[in-house]
């Protein structure tokens, strides 16, 4: 043992060290460190401890000294070591953030880490770390559209009010059509899923025509009235309204939430509405299809049934859609609106303010 190093193990420390060695769940690095200290306390020489533990002389000296300075706790943790690569200066990070928020050079549309690295004179991984630290994701793009409807606020409050507190003795239906649903068949059969391999599907396909699904979501019950039709004109929309009229028992007012699509406001549609006074239409603001609850059902239909579906004909496609409708109605889930309309209105105002400030800044140049 080196001069000045004294390994004095108390009874309590010995019990802790022996427990670490005996515990099968102890990390191995802690086990051999404890053995070095125990063997040193028993008076064994350096060469013998090296033989029994398989560690080098400098390793023995290091942990003997650590125990003398920090006790058993010193054996249970590693000292932090400085990185071999010096940290980037804040100025470099600020420059990368500023460049990322500006347009990239040339004809590219957005920054990549590989494009930023040579310009900032740092590595690609450093660029990625800076982006993560500042929440920057130049590869992603979120789509949006602010409604220009002058009646946006009253229409929003009207429809959200129907969702949250529907009138008594009335039904609230969210109505829309999903048009141009393609009956796509694959040119070759795919392979099924198995361990170590995902399912496969050919990238090319055969078109067998299209269909349009008219759907009405009962907000309170979660059930869907659906009809597949070849086209989506006002004639088909009126036929769908007749189907709703026949399916809902008389005596109930029917509040219909729908968008501003042409057939929904066609003169013949308005004439039909005048002949059926128990139907009340509530139009969503323009560019606000997210306010229509049935869009969630359409998204679920596309994701779970249509996206990977293989259909040899329009008949097969319509049969699959009808089966999906039956499964949905067998286990309906009521629609629950959770967004605060005041927060939506405030967000829209902030969006207008941001766009106006950006556009006015651009016009100054």
**Residue 126, Cβ neighbours under 10 Å: how many?**
20
Question: Residue 127: exposed, middle, or buried by beta-carbon count in 10 A (0-12, 13-18, 19+)?
Answer: buried
Q: Where are the domains of the chain?
A: 11-75, 90-133, 166-340
Question: Residue 183: exposed, middle, or buried by beta-carbon count in 10 A (0-12, 13-18, 19+)?
Answer: buried
Return phi, psi of residue 206, to 5°: -115, 135
**Alpha-carbon distances of 251 from 58, 243, 248, 267, rounded to whole Å:** 92, 16, 9, 26
In the structure, what pLDDT confidence band is assigned to residue 348 with cuts at 50, 70 and 90? Answer: confident
pLDDT recorded at residue 4: 66
- Work out the average pLDDT over 311-325: 95
pLDDT recorded at residue 258: 94
pLDDT at residue 152 tops 60: yes
Is the pTM above the cut of 0.85?
A: no
pLDDT at residue 120 tops 60: yes
pLDDT recorded at residue 364: 45
From first CA to last CA, the distance across the chain in angstroms is 77
More confident: 186 or 80: 186
Q: pLDDT, tens digit, for every residue of 68-119?
A: 888 899 888 887 777 777 788 999 999 999 999 999 988 899 999 999 999 9
Query: In terms of CATH architecture, what is 166-340?
Result: 2-Layer Sandwich (3.30)
Q: pLDDT, tens digit, for every residue of 29-54?
A: 999 999 999 998 888 888 999 999 99
The full 3-state SS of the chain, as one line of letters, equals: CCCCCCCCCCHHHHHHHHHHHHCCCCCHHHHHHHHHHHHHHCCCCHHHHHHHHCCCHHHHHHHHHHHHHHHHHHHCCCCCCCCCCCCCCHHHHHHHHHHHHCCCCCCCCCCCHHHHHHHHCCCHHHHHHHHHHCCCCCCCCCCCCCCCCCCHHHHHHHHHHHHHCCCCCEEEEEEEEEEEEEEEEECCCCCCCECCECCCCCCCEEEEEEEEEEEEEECCCCCEEEEEECCCCHHHHHHHHHHHHHHCCCCCEEEEEECCCHHHHCHHHHHHHHHCCCEEEEECCCCCHHHCCHHHHHHHHHHHHHCCCCCCCHHHHHHHHHHHHHHHHHCCCCCCCCCCHHHHHHHHHHHHHHHHHHHHHHHHC
């Amino acid at each position: 043992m080196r001069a000045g190093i004294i390994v004095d193990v108390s009874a309590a420390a010995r019990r802790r060290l022996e427990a670490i060695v005996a515990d099968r769940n102890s990390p191995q690095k802690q086990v051999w460190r404890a053995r070095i200290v125990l063997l040193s306390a028993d008076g064994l020489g350096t060469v013998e401890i090296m033989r029994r533990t398989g560690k080098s002389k400098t390793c023995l000296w290091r942990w003997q000294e650590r125990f003398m300075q920090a006790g058993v706790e010193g054996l249970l943790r590693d000292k932090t070591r400085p990185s071999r690569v010096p940290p980037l200066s804040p100025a470099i990070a600020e420059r990368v953030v500023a460049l990322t928020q500006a347009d990239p050079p040339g004809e590219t549309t957005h920054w990549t880490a590989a494009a930023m690295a040579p310009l900032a004179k740092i590595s690609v991984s450093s660029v990625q770390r800076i982006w993560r630290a500042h929440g920057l994701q130049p590869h992603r793009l979120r789509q949006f559209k602010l409604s220009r409807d002058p009646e946006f606020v009253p229409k929003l409050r009207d429809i959200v009010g129907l969702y949250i507190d529907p009138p008594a003795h009335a039904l609230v239906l969210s109505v829309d059509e999903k048009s141009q649903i393609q009956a796509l068949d694959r040119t070759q059969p795919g392979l099924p899923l198995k361990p170590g391999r995902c399912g496969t599907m050919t990238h090319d396909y055969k078109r067998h025509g299209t269909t349009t699904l008219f759907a009405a979501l009962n907000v309170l019950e979660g059930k869907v009235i659906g009809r597949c039709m070849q086209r989506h004109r006002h004639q088909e929309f009126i036929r769908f309204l007749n189907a709703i009229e026949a399916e809902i028992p008389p005596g109930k007012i029917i509040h219909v939430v729908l968008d501003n699509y042409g057939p929904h406001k066609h003169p013949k549609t308005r004439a039909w509405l005048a002949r059926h006074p128990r139907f009340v239409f509530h139009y969503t603001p323009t560019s606000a299809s997210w306010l229509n609850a049935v869009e969630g059902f359409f998204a679920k239909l596309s994701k779970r049934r249509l996206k990977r579906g293989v259909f040899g004909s329009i008949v097969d496609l319509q049969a699959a859609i009808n089966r999906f409708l039956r499964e949905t109605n067998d286990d309906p889930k009521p629609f629950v609106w959770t967004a605060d309309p005041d927060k939506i209105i405030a967000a829209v105002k902030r969006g207008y303010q941001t766009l106006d400030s950006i556009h006015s800044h651009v016009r100054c140049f």
